[in-house]
Chain A
Amino acid sequence: MEITDFSQPIRQSAKGIIVIFAFNLLKFFKKFVVFFIAFGIQVIRKKSFGGVTPTMIYLGLIAMLVLILIIAILKYFNFKFHLSKDDFHLATGIINKDNIIIPKSKIQNVYIKQNFLQQIINVVSVKIETAGDKKSEIEISALDKRTALLLKKKLFNKTTSISGELEQVESIEEPEVFFKVTPKRLFLEGLSQNHFKSFLLIITFSYGLYSELKDFLKELDLEKHVDGLVELDEATILNLIITNVIIVIGVVLISFLFSIVKTFIINFNLEVVEHQKTIEINKGLFNKVSLSLTPSRIQNLVITTNRVKQYFGLHSLSVKQAMVNVKQQKNFNIVALEKEQLNYLVNKLISNYSEDQGEIAKPRPYFMRITTLEMLVFGSVINGLSLAIFGIEMLWINAVFIPVAALYIYFAYKKAYYKISENFVTIGSGVIDTTTNILEIHKIQGVKLKQTIFQRPRDIASLVISTASKSVTIPYISKSEALIIYDFLLYKVESQDRDWM
């Protein structure tokens, strides 16, 4: 069933009932699963509990299922949407009727998503997002793909007069697939990721598992066995070292695998399609996502890479929009880009950006002092902890810690820079990763100068620049410089009458 006329109120595809039903069922179980298991086991064990028999439990469950199904059906019948000239209209609600109207010009994003269930029954969901808070999101959970695409196109066309023109142009210029990731590059991307996170995750997980199992192991009387085995002659010490090394290698391998699998699932078949004015990203294995980026809606661009990735020519570009929730924010990541592709995309998303504009300036060396101070605090915490837990001989970790800390300080300072040009602010940062933050000056929402009481005698200050999507900081520059930038940015924002979205 394909719908082409959106001017009359229509329902979504009937398969929507299945999607709504499954979704509500999942939500219901998530909330009550603990309760059900606890209560159910009680009842089944004792045959009855407070006058409730197992049969009643089963009946209750079936009744719940039927109720959820009925709600799903009612929801389906009470969900109608249509398009008028400038607005999107939606009527929902079984008992409390809601009528939602969104002006087309305020729509920030239209996603097309397809989760596992939707892939099976061959429908997609369309999500419409404005820059407001999370509640203003609208999801149409079941449409066939062609209808969804058409709806998306109509939502982005603002008025009829322009739409005619646009459609013409688009029919002439076939959208071309600008970038398609190959499995090899995806593999490299996963491999060269910052593994610290997965490493820590696995360590905490196995530690948690270990402490859970500890009591169990004690019961098995393993302790005596182990005590018997650990007689400190040289051979066993060697054995111990080998076991430890194997464990560490194992954990490292697992975290590599973890990162790679994660990268593959999220970015499977990543594709960047170039349209006349927008850029479309398609990706995902279990959860297929398709989203469009409109340049005027973009607030910040963040480019990330690291040493290893640079070697393989891998760059990620993350696009920040106003008030997008964290879960969605992750979808705006394009990974495994070549340098030229990256530059092209950046130029497409914010016009006239060039890396050479403006002078590169660095924070004052005071930056290093603060970082050193941070490292000292961190180091003393680590030392204190290891002393308290493992005793005096654990002080050797300083042999590892001090060089790492020194490198940390060195790289953090080396990679920190800022650049103010006519229309853009570029800020570099990072330690392991190299992060570049780009924002357009006319999208700034507010500027803040920060100076602590200790920085005043040294004439040092930090500058925080906020856009609608995030705040970036130019750390520890001289106050006079900070004031010049402050005045310049304000002048730029206030003198030109440009919209921020």
Chain B
Amino acid sequence: MNFTNPQIQTEDLPNIEDVVLKPISKSYLKIITLNRLAFYSLILGAVFGLKYLIKEDGFQDNFWLVFIGVIVICIANFIISILAFKKRKYAVRGYDVIYAKGLIIHSIITVPISRIQHVEESRSWLARHLGLSTLKIFTAGEAGSDLSIKGLQQLEAKGINDFISAKVNGNN
């Protein structure tokens, strides 16, 4: 009987902290900026719309206060999204894919390649112009373990896609 049951030293296990995470493409910052700006202009437009809809004095008198409040929130949000950009990192190991993101709530998600159901590479109009793509990785069941790595260089995304597809097919 050649069954062995060696003790596992948890210190010796591959360590997630040791992995060098790669930042996503810098050009993606442009997409974030553009998206955010479009979003803010929508909100500010809505605020101006309210100015013409609501004729009450209380609102009209304090309109600029509301307006400045909204602008401050937008700026804070913008700064946070820019800072959070640096936190978007990813790595592919032999057996899993790692993605880290978030400034205020930082999270690191790891999905074992053997659990991946399918991979999707999607490119928006803007991303196509910047040569970027989004890699979506789907596992079974709940959405909690699905990954979507945005802002990868197109070649990089294709490479990862091919690697994962080959691995997944090889396993079956």
- Show the binding face of A for B, using Cβ within 8 Å: 131, 299, 322-323, 444-453, 456, 464, 466-471, 483-484, 486-488, 490-491, 493-494, 497, 500-501
| Contact indicator B112/A448 (Cβ below 8 Å) | no
- Which residue of chain A has its CB nearest to the CB of B110? A447
A447 contact set on B, CB distance < 8 A: 109-110
How far is A322 from B14 in the complex, measured between Cα atoms in Å?
A: 29
Interface residues of B in 108-161 (CB under 8 A from A): 108-112, 114-115, 139-142, 144-147
B147 contact set on A, CB distance < 8 A: 446
Q: How far is the CB of A360 from chain B (nearest CB, A)?
A: 17
Q: List 7 A-B contacts (CB under 8 A).
A: A444-B112, A452-B106, A470-B141, A487-B13, A494-B95, A497-B171, A501-B140
- Show the binding face of B for A, using Cβ within 8 Å: 8, 10, 13-17, 95-96, 103-112, 114-115, 139-142, 144-147, 171
Given A469-B142, A500-B140, decide whether A446 and B106 contact each other with a Cβ distance below 8 A: no
The number of inter-chain residue pairs (CB within 8 angstroms) is 109
Given A493-B112, A493-B114, A500-B115, decide whether A445 and B13 contact each other with a Cβ distance below 8 A: no
Q: How far is the CB of A468 from chain B (nearest CB, A)?
A: 3
| Contact indicator B140/A322 (Cβ below 8 Å) | yes
How far is A1 from B95 in the complex, measured between Cα atoms in Å?
A: 54
Mostly, the A contact residues are: mixed
B112 contact set on A, CB distance < 8 A: 444-446, 490, 493-494
| Contact indicator A448/B107 (Cβ below 8 Å) | yes
- Which residue of chain A has its CB nearest to the CB of B97? A446
Q: How far is the CB of B16 from chain A (nearest CB, A)?
A: 6
| Contact indicator B111/A483 (Cβ below 8 Å) | no
| Contact indicator B144/A464 (Cβ below 8 Å) | yes
| Contact indicator A453/B103 (Cβ below 8 Å) | yes
- Which residue of chain B has its CB nearest to the CB of A464? B144
| Contact indicator B141/A445 (Cβ below 8 Å) | yes
Residue picked from B14, B109, B141, most chain A C-beta under 10 Å: B141
- Which residue of chain B has its CB nearest to the CB of A443? B115
| Contact indicator B110/A486 (Cβ below 8 Å) | yes
How far is A61 from B101 in the complex, measured between Cα atoms in Å?
A: 59
| Contact indicator B142/A468 (Cβ below 8 Å) | yes
Q: How far is the CB of A489 from chain B (nearest CB, A)?
A: 9
| Contact indicator B141/A468 (Cβ below 8 Å) | yes
5 additional A-B pairs beyond A446-B115, A487-B13, A494-B114, beta carbons within 8 Å, are: A448-B107, A448-B144, A449-B109, A466-B144, A490-B112
| Contact indicator B13/A470 (Cβ below 8 Å) | no
A449 contact set on B, CB distance < 8 A: 16, 107-109
B144 contact set on A, CB distance < 8 A: 446, 448, 464, 466, 470-471
Q: How far is the CB of B148 from chain A (nearest CB, A)?
A: 13
| Contact indicator B140/A468 (Cβ below 8 Å) | yes
Q: How far is the CB of A326 from chain B (nearest CB, A)?
A: 13
B17 contact set on A, CB distance < 8 A: 483
| Contact indicator B141/A323 (Cβ below 8 Å) | yes
How far is A108 from B110 in the complex, measured between Cα atoms in Å?
A: 26
Partner of B109 from the list A448, A456, A468, A488 (CB cut-off 8 Å) is: A448
Partner of B14 from the list A323, A451, A491 (CB cut-off 8 Å) is: A491
| Contact indicator A453/B104 (Cβ below 8 Å) | yes
How far is A158 from B171 in the complex, measured between Cα atoms in Å?
A: 22
A444 contact set on B, CB distance < 8 A: 112, 115
Q: How far is the CB of A453 from chain B (nearest CB, A)?
A: 5
B10 contact set on A, CB distance < 8 A: 484, 487-488
How far is A448 from B112 in the complex, measured between Cα atoms in Å?
A: 12
Partner of A299 from the list B105, B106, B141 (CB cut-off 8 Å) is: B141
How far is A31 from B142 in the complex, measured between Cα atoms in Å?
A: 31
How far is A234 from B115 in the complex, measured between Cα atoms in Å?
A: 72
Q: How far is the CB of A410 from chain B (nearest CB, A)?
A: 27
Q: How far is the CB of A495 from chain B (nearest CB, A)?
A: 8
| Contact indicator B16/A490 (Cβ below 8 Å) | yes
Partner of A446 from the list B15, B103, B104, B139 (CB cut-off 8 Å) is: B139
Partner of A466 from the list B16, B96, B141, B171 (CB cut-off 8 Å) is: B141
| Contact indicator B115/A450 (Cβ below 8 Å) | no
How far is A448 from B142 in the complex, measured between Cα atoms in Å?
A: 13
How far is A471 from B139 in the complex, measured between Cα atoms in Å?
A: 13
